[in-house]
């Protein structure tokens, strides 16, 4: 999990660099397309069977993961890296909320505390003292919701599918859906989140795309392996190490250090997530 968090933050910093010349959806496409090739190469030498009965769940994991990734990458391009990462890590809070609203699970003081702390943390992160508000923060929270859905499906299928197959479903959907969305660009408004496909021409961009695909594939594989272990509480705790990693990478990319209120918001989200995981 620690390796996955470091590589995830590093991957996000590469995406932020690329965003100056390549649209977010295109970054998602290249990240996943090359990742699919890497996973297929691994499966060629050590094949794995696919349980067709549970194929819908596998596909659903891929769809949820793609939506979460696209929104995450979009927010990376518009707000500080540490903010985007923290909003994505609200996923455990959404799991607790959905368990109460959808599954009708009982709610206790711990879950209420987690929800309130998480909500307060998001408020502190989303420009608490500024006049203007960037809607990218809302998209970041929505991304956290879909990340929660993706992680939930991993829990359902982790004992059924090889971890490489689970990663392949995620990256496969992250390749297929952008291709479909690129075809829809002429029919969408100009201010849409989906932009026209522009092939990268600079060698530096191409090398960064390859590096991003390699680190992203490794990060996803480590993440899936981590969530397939029995000690999930420890895994969940370590997963928040991606936030300080992101603060450091973001600082060197020009984001600057987060303000006191944003740091407080990050702390609240982390505490809320850990409480939600334990309950």
Sign for the pseudo-dihedral over CA of 163, 168, 173, 178: positive
Global pTM reads: 0.81
What HEC string does 95-138 produce? Answer: HHHHHHHCCCCCCCHHHHHHHHHHHHHHHHHCCCCCCCCCCHHH
Residues of the chain with pLDDT > 90: what percent? 18
Separation CA 46–CA 165 (nearest Å)? 12
Instruction: Indicate if the pLDDT at residue 177 is higher than 90.
Output: yes
In three-state secondary structure terms, 51 is coil
| 181-186: Cβ within 8 A, 24+ apart | 181/25, 182/25, 182/29
Classify the phi-psi angles of 68: left when phi > 0, otherwise alpha if psi is within -120 to 50, otherwise beta: alpha
- The per-residue pLDDT for range 136-173, each reduced to its tens digit, is 888 998 999 998 888 778 777 878 888 888 889 989 99
Which tokens is 124 given? 């502190």
Amino acid 128: pLDDT: 56
Find the mean pLDDT for residues 122-129: 72
Q: Average pLDDT in the 244-268 region?
A: 87
- Which DSSP helix (H) or strand (E) runs through 210? helix 203-227
CA-wise closest residue to 71 among 168, 2, 174:
174
CA angle 122/124/128 to nearest 5° reads: 125
What's the chain's average pLDDT? 84
At residue 69, does pLDDT exceed 80?
yes
For residues 216 and 24, give the distance between their C-alpha atoms in angstroms, rounded to a whole number.
Answer: 15
The predicted pLDDT at position 146 comes to: 92
From CA 69, how far away is CA 237, in angstroms rounded?
21
Average pLDDT over residues 192-215: 87
Ramachandran region of residue 153, left (φ > 0), alpha (ψ -120 to 50) or beta? alpha
Residue 207 has pLDDT above 90, yes or no: yes
Q: What is the mean pLDDT of residues 18-30?
A: 88
pLDDT band at 131 (very low <50, low <70, confident <90, very high): very low
Distance of CA 100 to the CA centre of its chain: 23
Report CA 48 to chain centroid distance, whole Å. Answer: 26
The model's pLDDT over 208-238, given as tens digits with 9 standing for 90+, comes to: 999 988 898 899 888 878 877 777 667 777 8
Check: CB of residue 211 under 8 Å from CB of residue 26. Answer: no
């Amino acid at each position: 999990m620690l390796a996955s968090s470091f590589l995830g933050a590093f991957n996000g910093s590469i995406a932020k660099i690329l965003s100056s010349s390549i649209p977010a959806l295109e970054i998602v496409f290249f990240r996943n397309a090359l990742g699919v090739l890497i996973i297929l190469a691994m499966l060629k030498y050590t094949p794995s069977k696919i349980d067709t009965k549970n194929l819908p769940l596998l596909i659903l994991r891929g769809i949820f993961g793609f939506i979460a990734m696209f929104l995450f990458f979009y927010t990376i391009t518009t707000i500080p890296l540490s903010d985007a990462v923290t909003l994505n890590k609200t996923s455990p809070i959404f799991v607790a909320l959905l368990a109460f609203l959808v599954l009708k699970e009982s709610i206790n003081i711990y879950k209420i505390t987690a929800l309130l702390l998480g909500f307060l943390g998001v408020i502190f992160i989303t420009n608490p003292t500024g006049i203007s508000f960037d809607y990218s923060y809302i998209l970041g929270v929505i991304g956290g919701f879909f990340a929660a859905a993706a992680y939930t499906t991993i829990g359902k299928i982790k004992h059924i599918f090889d971890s490489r197959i689970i990663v392949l479903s995620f990256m496969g959907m992250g390749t297929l859906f952008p291709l479909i969305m690129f075809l829809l660009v002429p029919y969408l408004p100009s201010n849409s989140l989906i932009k026209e496909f522009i092939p990268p021409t600079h060698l530096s961009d191409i090398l960064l795309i390859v590096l991003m695909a390699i680190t992203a594939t490794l990060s996803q594989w480590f993440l899936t392996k981590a969530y397939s272990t029995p000690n999930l509480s420890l895994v969940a705790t370590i997963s928040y190490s991606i936030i300080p990693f992101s603060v450091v990478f973001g600082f060197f990319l020009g984001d600057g250090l987060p303000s006191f209120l944003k740091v407080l918001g990050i702390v609240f989200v982390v505490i809320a997530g850990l409480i939600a995981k334990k309950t």
